[in-house]
Amino acid sequence: MKRHLLPVLLTALLIGTVAQAQQLEGVYAGAELYNTPFNGMQISYLAFYLRKDKTFSDKLDATDWQTHKSGTYSVNDGVLQLVFANGEDSKKYRLSKNGNLESTAGIKHTLHKLQRVDRIPEGYYQMKSADYSGGMGTGTPGVFSSASKGLYFDGKGHFSLDGSRLVSIGGDAAGGTVAGKFEKNKPPTGGTYQLTNGEIVLQYNNGTVSRHSFFYSPPKEEDLVLLDGVFYFKEEPENTTTSASARSSHTPASSATSSTDISATASLLEKLRQRYGGIAIDKIVRLKEVATISPNLEAVTLTDISNQKMRIEIRQGGKLLLVKMMDKNSGWQWQNGAIHSMAPDDLTEMRLSLYQGVLGLHQKLNTFFMNGTVSSKQGDYMVTFSVNDKQVVYLVGGDYSMKGNAYSITGKPNISVYKKFIQTEGISFPSVTESSDGSHTITVTTTAVVINPVIQDTEWAQP
């Protein structure tokens, strides 16, 4: 191609893109990774309905979602700008050739254009949420609640629902399963559905009818359904036991027991070590973990226990988005080509991760655990200890299963729940971790764990 033709072609492409932009209409949705000042990386799910009249709505759960106005948008030089009526910071996205929207600031993310459909293939889709109140630093018991809801479509016009709810007070379960394993068309959690022009009408077997906004993204894109603006990702349903109604129980605080006896913590630590790998855990010197972060991010974590080094890399579609590196008491962060010293709270968060999960049971890392306080309630245990005045909690089942961890940097805790443990070289690691700061939940699925890999100096270097 002759060089003098390039500006002409680029101008033509730009004009074509802008012309297309004037006809923007539809729902765009995606996930934005961002940093919080107290709990590190979190995910915010975004969905916008854009109209030809240059207005948009981010309230797809409203009954008037088709006419509700959250703000206005403009398109200049192929860049879409969303201006919110409530004064919220505006957002900018560049129109891509495939019709999606690409972020222009912060950690790169994509808003995919979703489809209005008149049928949906057979599949199971699940939504998860979490919330936290009280707890560390508030003088009141910490209450953590999590919920999930599943949608099953048989591809032939029938649906069924399932769901679960857990309420934990001070780390002890005070709730239970609401529905459990889904059953096709079991009243009142099933029925028939109709899809028309961006909406789904659910007609339950008990006669109830409800109408919701509904959009779809196929497997080669986001593989989800958007119901009332809520993301339901496609996955395999869990084999849980069906329960027709919620189980609820409450145990007075007086029934709980606690102990600072080192023999109690030592005994609990040994039980955990036996269950999750024993002396094999102590043989870990270096660790490499590869994972996916819902919906479309990849993460690689390198850990060197002896040298107290840790590195986290986040990619999207193979492109590097973010690097965080801890080296003993210092650290740096790379993002969008710029390198900065790591914020103190982010550095503390990375350091605390050494004392949680399976690594926290390591002989070289479990001293803080040994000096902790054990409380028991309804047969489960909670171990609380401090690492340089920052609180860390282990949630342990009565069968000595590792249920999760919590920690606090500024008073509000981050809670991680561990699921589906898999064994690597005699050590059991959780393959699924669900983390929440009380406002947002991210799901991290570990795809590979390498124990004591050879890590070259270049792998610790700045990009």
Torsion sign, CA atoms 34, 417, 390, 302: negative
Could you tell me which of 229, 227, 226 has the C-alpha nearest to residue 217?
226
> Does 253-460 match 3-113 at the fold level?
no
* pLDDT reported for residue 34: 62
* pLDDT reported for residue 20: 43
Distance in Å from the first CA to the final CA of the chain: 33
In this structure, which topology does domain 253-460 adopt according to CATH?
outer membrane lipoprotein receptor (LolB), chain A (2.50.20)
Q: Give residue limits of the domains in the chain.
A: 3-113, 123-234, 253-460
* pLDDT reported for residue 365: 94
Mean of the pLDDT values across residues 339-346? 90
Above 70 in pLDDT, residue 146?
no
* pLDDT reported for residue 129: 60
* pLDDT reported for residue 148: 67
Place of tokens 């570990």: 446
* SS3 of residue 3 by DSSP: helix
Write the pLDDT tens digit of every residue in 7-22.
322 333 333 344 344 4
3-113 is classed CATH 2.40.128: yes
Q: Residue 208's pLDDT band (boundaries 50, 70, 90)?
A: confident
Query: Is-contact 158 172, C-beta < 8 A?
Result: no
User: Of all residues in the chain, what percent are helix, strand and coil, respectively (each to 5)?
Assistant: 15, 50, 35
Above 60 in pLDDT, residue 132?
no
* pLDDT reported for residue 233: 85
Query: Is-contact 299 379, C-beta < 8 A?
Result: no
Q: For residue 23, count CB atoms less than 10 angstroms from its CB and return exposed for 0-12, middle for 13-18, buried for 19 or more.
A: exposed
Q: Name residue 446's beta-bridge partners.
A: 291
